[in-house]
Structure 1
């Protein structure tokens, strides 16, 4: 098993390459399953004992079950403490504030297990899906795993109202946040701890939207999300308030969408290098990502060219050709640089944004010289050319300027960071430890004893 970066490769982010967790090694349990609860004195004990029995029979690694009590006001804390005292692999965790997201953040931040999971206390999901859920994380194949009730091979028993709300919500996520995962709210998920340590501080929501925010940020950062079709039976006694939860979720969608739109999240810190396959290693003299960048640049170029021609036609009605060309090219160049920065070259956040725009204006100056020179040559040759002729000449000149712009963008404005000296490596400021803050307000009411190896 490789423990360092192979020769000829360069790490591209703060996360190391995924590796298979060591088998049979001494230490903490491999899996920590969190069960968030609020006033579940009736169902807590039978559900935890059923989950424990299933793990004892089927899970080949050490495990722990953590009951995360969300400020319950009934006998739930006492039941959790009794379970922790009588079952070695169970511990109880008490929080004085409500919120599923807050509970998961606190327990996951404090856990020493390399794979962290959670499931609802009603165990609506068939437990036979638990091992397929965590296996890709143990093997190093994936970063997160989710159970999905909306795949074709899933078998789900629930009312029409919940089915409609669930599918509508996921359609909203696909349309507004470009989410590609199929089921955001199924209470059956897992994450590798090394990913959680870096991802949790970016997740703000303390309630039901926590799952969605976690998944959207992970997907946008390029992390691998594994989906497991599940068999799921609705709990008729569920205390979830659908309308209030839906409103909170929509507010969360707007907040996350706005943060992603302005590049306020440092998702590049979650980038992973490729794995051990020699075909994935960087080859000298072959630029990485060229095909994808060309596609993105061409798409942005088509849109900016249309925008430029539209602006030129508008400005031309009240100004000369040179003035209209300069104004239209300036406005479209600013938009072009911003779009290529984000979409083509994957640069997010405000860091060096002003510098990139200044360099983009230099590239704009070169494009202005090409197009203005073309117009001047046309005027000298034709005297008073028609508007259609001007547009045709500008299209040809812009094509030449576009090729030059791509080369300058790739080599000068947005160079591949993997090619730059890493003198500043290790000097980045640490991510805010928001999870530590959440964990400090919680207290453990039971301890883990005799963890099964």
Structure 2
């Protein structure tokens, strides 16, 4: 049977409509649900208030300190104490010129991380403003970072991994680079740590073959989706000024390890300048990343991000959004 031209056009249009409808159905199925902030997650404990939970601040409030250090933590009783010691040592050396707070956001740990960190804060660092927040359910690293950023009090807010892989003193490189991006913190700006300069060094070469394959594959995909201008999207050492955090984090949807890409895509859509700054970094044992699972999640989530943006389901506001109980899915 030979189809005439009109029948062929009808068949092609019907196939296209069915294909788009199927993609949209899969997109809805794969898209993460809105991020809900429960009432108990809006509070914290500290050395000065170990048993009474106190209310957290909001990113919409005026800044109260120069720097908020946001540390996402999931089962980190082994690695976090050493990282915390290094962090506090550096910050205390600048205390006369820079005030700070540390927000440890526990992502539903099962090893008692919140209580261990509270005990450590009380016994070792009673004079340091360490605030411990507990998420009721495990969201993923991105969810913990988002929560800390939306409740930090800093003029600038740093996200940093609990494993101490990044050299904390390199905060000063990010700080200087941000000041070069914008003369005033009233204008949004981001400075991200980068390990791109280490690609051919022993620090990266010694990593497993599978992890390096994943790294190169990710770079290729990122160029396709539009963040190829950032050579290292996944370094867990990123500095936001308060205006950038206000603009970006209420509209974050992805909470697993690829969330950094969404943050940078949001920055690009909102025309927020981003500086990529080389930092020192070393591999730390105990990574919770399963490379095969992460690879599949990466492809799925990049597709979900682009699909929701294409269909207009995930929107951003050109201004200061009001933070609510959930992210802005429409």
With normalisation by structure 1, the TM-score equals 0.51
Q: What is the count of residue pairs matched by the alignment?
A: 253
Change (3 A) 1:155 1:269: farther
Equivalence for 2:165: 124
Alpha carbons 1:115, 1:137 under 8 Å: kept: no
Equivalence for 1:112: 153
Alignment of 1:329-348 (within 5 A): none
Alignment of 1:409-428 (within 5 A): none
Residue by residue over 1:72-123, the C-alpha shift from the partner in whole angstroms, topping out at 9 and shown as x without a partner, is 1113111211233342232211111211111111111111212111111111
Change (3 A) 1:139 1:252: same
Residue by residue over 1:228-264, the C-alpha shift from the partner in whole angstroms, topping out at 9 and shown as x without a partner, is 1122111232121222222222111112212333455
SS in 1 for 2:197: coil
Deviation at 1:227, TM superposition (A): 0.7
Bigger fraction of residues in strand? 2
Change (3 A) 1:262 1:179: farther
Alignment of 1:194-205 (within 5 A): 194-205=243-254
Q: Which of 167, 177, 188 does residue 216 from structure 2 map onto? A: 167
Equivalence for 1:246: 295
Q: Which of 52, 69, 91 does residue 88 from structure 2 map onto? A: 52
Alpha carbons 1:115, 1:138 under 8 Å: kept: no
Alpha carbons 2:194, 2:276 under 8 Å: kept: yes
Equivalence for 1:315: none
Q: Which of 77, 83, 88 does residue 41 from structure 1 map onto? A: 77
Partner Cα separation in structure 1 for residue 71 and residue 89 of structure 2: 15
Alpha carbons 2:262, 2:305 under 8 Å: kept: yes
Partner Cα separation in structure 1 for residue 222 and residue 74 of structure 2: 27
Equivalence for 2:193: 147
Q: Which of 291, 306, 328 does residue 257 from structure 1 map onto? A: 306
Change (3 A) 1:246 1:432: farther
Equivalence for 1:377: none
Q: Which of 160, 174, 188 does residue 133 from structure 1 map onto? A: 174
SS in 2 for 1:218: helix
Alpha carbons 1:203, 1:213 under 8 Å: kept: yes
Equivalence for 2:65: 29
Deviation at 1:215, TM superposition (A): 0.7
Alignment of 1:290-439 (within 5 A): 431=321, 433-434=323-324, 436-437=325-326
Residue by residue over 1:373-430, the C-alpha shift from the partner in whole angstroms, topping out at 9 and shown as x without a partner, is xxxxxxxxxxxxxxxxxxxxxxxxxxxxxxxxxxxxxxxxxxxxxxxxxxxxxxxxx8
Moved more, 52-61 or 145-154: 145-154
Alpha carbons 1:144, 1:190 under 8 Å: kept: yes
Alpha carbons 1:151, 1:182 under 8 Å: kept: no
Change (3 A) 1:27 1:209: closer
Deviation at 1:198, TM superposition (A): 2.1
Equivalence for 1:90: 130
Question: Please, which runs of 5 or more residues in structure 1 have no aligned partner?
Answer: 1-25, 271-429, 439-453
Partner Cα separation in structure 1 for residue 278 and residue 199 of structure 2: 6
Residue by residue over 1:146-174, the C-alpha shift from the partner in whole angstroms, topping out at 9 and shown as x without a partner, is 11111369966131332321222022110
The structure with more radius of gyration:
1
Equivalence for 2:17: none
RMSD value, Cα = 2.6
Bigger fraction of residues in helix? 1
Alpha carbons 1:83, 1:91 under 8 Å: kept: no
